[in-house]
Amino acid sequence: MQVAGDKEDFVYHFYLRNIVHNLKLILDEHLIPHGITNQQARIVGHIGDCEEKGCSICQKDIELAMGLKGSSITSLLQGLEKNGFVKRSTSVSDGRAKVLSLTTKGEDLIDEFNDVFRDMEHRIVLGMTAEQKRLFLELLQLVSKNLER
């Protein structure tokens, strides 16, 4: 199958790029009405995951989890706070640290995105047998491992 050019066949890259692009379009379609970016949505999700486990989270934790510098995270958090998705409060154990938590609006966003992710999962494996789904997951895990830095 010749997809990407006449010298070399980049078929895997072609399909992976198209899949990633289509997933991003679907997510962006749901983010735009909320006025937030994909990175901000990831932060909301990370805070929600932490709250679900009963742990507190501060800006430094977000920096480490996302691999971004403090100034970038500060800017992203300011936007989330301004738009009412996140609130910051002073840590009880360390008065210098700010603990992050979701507002009701942030929790509602997570609920909405869980529905979006469920729909995407369904669409991704639509038409696959149980065995094909198992094999697909196994192959995705292998590709992910191969590309880890």
| pLDDT at res. 3 | 52
List 102's β-bridge partners, or say none: 86
What single letter denotes the amino acid at residue 2?
A: Q
Instruction: Please report whether residue 26 resides in a domain.
Output: yes
In a domain, 2, yes or no: no
Residue 49 belongs to a domain: yes
pLDDT tens track for 34-81: 888 888 999 999 999 999 999 989 988 999 988 888 888 999 999 999
Residues 6+ away with beta carbon under 8 Å from 60 = 70, 97
Q: Which domain holds residue 112?
A: 11-147
| 1 falls within a domain | no
Residue 93 maps to a domain: yes
Question: What pLDDT is recorded for position 94?
Answer: 78
Does 6 reside within a domain? no
Q: For residue 90, report the phi and psi dihedrals to the nearest 5 degrees.
A: -75, 135
Q: Write the secondary structure of 114-148 as one string of H (helix), E (strand) and C (coil).
A: HHHHHHHHHHHCCCCCHHHHHHHHHHHHHHHHHHC
Q: Do the domain assignments include residue 5?
A: no
For the domain that residue 130 is a member of, what is the CATH number?
1.10.10.10
pLDDT at 2 over 90: no
Looking at the 3D structure of the chain, how many domains does it have?
1
Q: What is the pLDDT of residues 71-128, one digit of tens each?
A: 889 999 999 999 999 999 988 887 788 899 999 999 999 999 888 889 999 999 999 9
Q: Would you say residue 65 lies in a domain?
A: yes
